């Protein structure tokens, strides 16, 4: 039996779990597992049930059927204090207790380890300060919780979870209120915790590019069953992501980890001579202006292909690591002849793409306008 099929042997395991509200199933037959030090991320559309699954794992919501295991033990058999020493939770609710400083809120994470009077030892206080430092919240430690921003509040809640010194941490959309710097910092913290401290992380994310980069396993949540479950390499394909989110007017770019908007349609007005990633900003600028275009001549493995394929009406391609052929040159020239203008994207010229430099000369000889910068592009 594989680890995926044996949840009771994992650090965290879900076996035939059915979740929902008031006895009405939302998602059924959830079976998956997470090993020590792994990061598992739930992705999927809004309202698909990601938060419901997480709340059922943490017992904030009663599961309708199935079992949650921690270290092979049925979670229902563990006391609240036992659970609190093994599992920490950061949910999306904006809980802001009054008359409490950030340090005091973080200190609440030590509750499972204190006695009946809740008094902190010197060691407990040291853990609190270390947790605040880990999320870069020392400067707001003495501020009232109600006086800080949403992003700062999210970091303080993470510090409280870290302060519990858990074996598993569950987070519901932890990056939602953070700017890009703090998103990266927070995910870096979680990655370090997983790698160096062996903490298992379960979370939901909207930023699927970040989910792909940080996760060991991905759960796709859509419909009444888990749509897909596997490693990022198994999950992140253009078709899988498009089906998961119902993307119709655009595409998910697996190589670049980004979404490309729908390509402009109509008569090809421009031929963009690109390559090596130099064409990507031009392709996106043309898309914004609604100008249908062709791109080329691009080797099949060129970085520009990732953006050109979904955004261009036509891409003239050549074989990878081979000189451009006469047939490909003729095809590009024919399109240039019908286009209103040409873009020289500035790709360096070498042995294999020398024909692209000749295309620019050909366009000028045909009297075509040649743009070399974004500011020279015409409006729609």
pLDDT tens across 286-313, in order?
A: 999 999 999 999 999 999 998 898 899 9
Maximum separation of any 2 CA atoms in the chain, in Å: 87
pLDDT digits (tens, 9 = 90+) for 53-72: 999 999 999 999 999 999 98
Is 142 exposed, middle or buried, given 0-12, 13-18 or 19+ CB atoms closer than 10 A?
Answer: exposed
3-state class of 61 per DSSP? coil
Burial of 331-344, coded b for 16+ CB within 10 Å and e otherwise, reads bbbebbeebebbbb
Q: Is the pLDDT of residue 128 over 80?
A: yes
Flag the least confident range among 7-11, 26-30, 32-36: 7-11
- How would residue 232 be classed by pLDDT, with cut points 50, 70 and 90? very high
pLDDT digits (tens, 9 = 90+) for 248-272: 777 777 777 777 778 899 999 999 9
As a whole number of angstroms, the distance between CA 41 and CA 88 comes to: 16
Alpha helices in 67-179 (DSSP H): 80-86, 102-107, 122-134, 150-163
- Please provide the average confidence, as pLDDT, over all residues in the chain: 89
Q: Where are the domains of the chain?
A: 3-248, 263-376
Q: Is the pLDDT of residue 40 over 90?
A: yes
Same-fold call for 3-248 versus 263-376:
yes
Q: CB atoms < 10 A from the CB of 306, how many?
A: 19
Helix-strand-coil percent breakdown of the chain, rounded to 5?
Answer: 40, 25, 35
When pLDDT is averaged across residues 22-50 and rounded to a whole number, the result is: 93
Find tokens 């009406």 and name the residue.
313
What is residue 96's predicted lDDT score, i.e. its pLDDT? 65
Closest CA to 205 of 230, 223, 184: 184
Verdict on whether the full-model pTM lies above 0.85: no
In sequence order, what DSSP letters do the residues of 271-334 get, joined into one string?
EEE--TTTTHHHHHHHHHHT--EEEEEEETT-TTHHHHHHH-SEEEEE-TTSPPPHHHHHHHHH
CB-CB contact of 93 with 138 (8 Å):
no
- 211 Cβ contact list (under 8 Å, min separation 6): 41, 43, 205, 218, 232
The CATH fold assigned to 263-376 is: Rossmann fold (3.40.50)
- How would residue 340 be classed by pLDDT, with cut points 50, 70 and 90? very high
Q: Is the pLDDT of residue 3 over 60?
A: no
Flag the least confident range among 2-6, 94-98, 209-213, 324-328: 2-6
3-state class of 136 per DSSP? coil
CB-CB contact of 227 with 244 (8 Å):
yes
What is residue 1's predicted lDDT score, i.e. its pLDDT? 30
Long-range contacts of range 242-245, CB-CB < 8 Å, 24 or more positions apart? 244/43, 244/44, 244/45, 244/220, 245/44, 245/45
- How would residue 2 be classed by pLDDT, with cut points 50, 70 and 90? very low
Q: Is the pLDDT of residue 204 over 80?
A: yes
What is residue 9's predicted lDDT score, i.e. its pLDDT? 65
What is residue 95's predicted lDDT score, i.e. its pLDDT? 63
**Pair type for strands 168-172 and 65-70:** unpaired
- Helices and strands (H and E) in the chain: how many: 13, 17
- Please provide the CATH number assigned to the domain covering 3-248: 3.40.50.300
As a whole number of angstroms, the distance between CA 217 and CA 35 comes to: 10
When pLDDT is averaged across residues 338-342 and rounded to a whole number, the result is: 96
What is residue 142's predicted lDDT score, i.e. its pLDDT? 93
């Amino acid at each position: 039996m594989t680890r995926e099929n044996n949840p009771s042997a994992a650090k965290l395991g879900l076996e035939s779990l059915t979740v929902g509200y008031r006895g009405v199933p939302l998602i059924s037959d959830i079976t998956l597992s997470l090993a020590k030090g792994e990061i598992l991320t739930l992705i999927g559309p809004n309202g698909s049930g990601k938060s419901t699954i997480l709340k059922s794992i943490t017992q904030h919501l009663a599961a309708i059927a199935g079992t949650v295991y921690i270290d092979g033990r049925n979670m229902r058999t563990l006391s609240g204090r036992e659970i609190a020493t093994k599992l920490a939770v950061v949910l999306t609710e904006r809980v802001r207790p009054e008359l409490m400083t950030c340090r005091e809120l973080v200190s609440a994470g030590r509750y499972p380890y204190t006695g009946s009077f809740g008094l902190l030892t010197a060691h407990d206080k040291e853990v609190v300060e270390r947790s605040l430092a880990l999320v870069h919240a020392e400067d707001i430690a003495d501020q009232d919780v109600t006086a800080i921003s949403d992003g700062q509040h999210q970091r303080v809640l993470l510090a409280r979870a870290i302060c519990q010194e858990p074996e598993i941490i569950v987070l519901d959309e932890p990056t939602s209120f953070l700017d890009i710097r703090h998103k990266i910092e927070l995910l870096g913290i979680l990655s370090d915790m997983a790698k160096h401290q062996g903490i298992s992380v379960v979370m939901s994310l909207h930023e699927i590019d970040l989910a792909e980069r940080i996760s060991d396993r991905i759960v796709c949540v859509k419909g009444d069953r888990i749509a897909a479950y596997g490693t990022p390499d198994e999950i992140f394909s253009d078709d899988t992501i498009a089906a998961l989110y119902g993307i119709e007017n655009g595409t998910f770019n697996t190589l670049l980890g980004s979404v490309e908007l729908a390509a402009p349609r109509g008569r090809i007005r421009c031929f963009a001579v690109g390559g090596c990633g130099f064409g990507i900003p031009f392709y996106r600028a043309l898309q914004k202006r609604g100008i249908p275009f062709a791109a080329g001549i691009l080797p099949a493995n060129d970085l520009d292909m990732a953006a050109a394929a979904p955004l261009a009406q036509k891409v003239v391609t050549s074989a990878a690591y081979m000189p451009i052929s006469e047939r490909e040159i003729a095809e590009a020239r024919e399109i240039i002849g019908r286009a209103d203008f040409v873009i020289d994207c500035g790709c360096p010229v070498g042995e294999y793409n020398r024909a692209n430099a000749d295309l620019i000369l050909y366009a000028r000889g045909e009297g075509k306008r040649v743009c070399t910068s974004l500011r020279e592009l015409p409006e729609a």
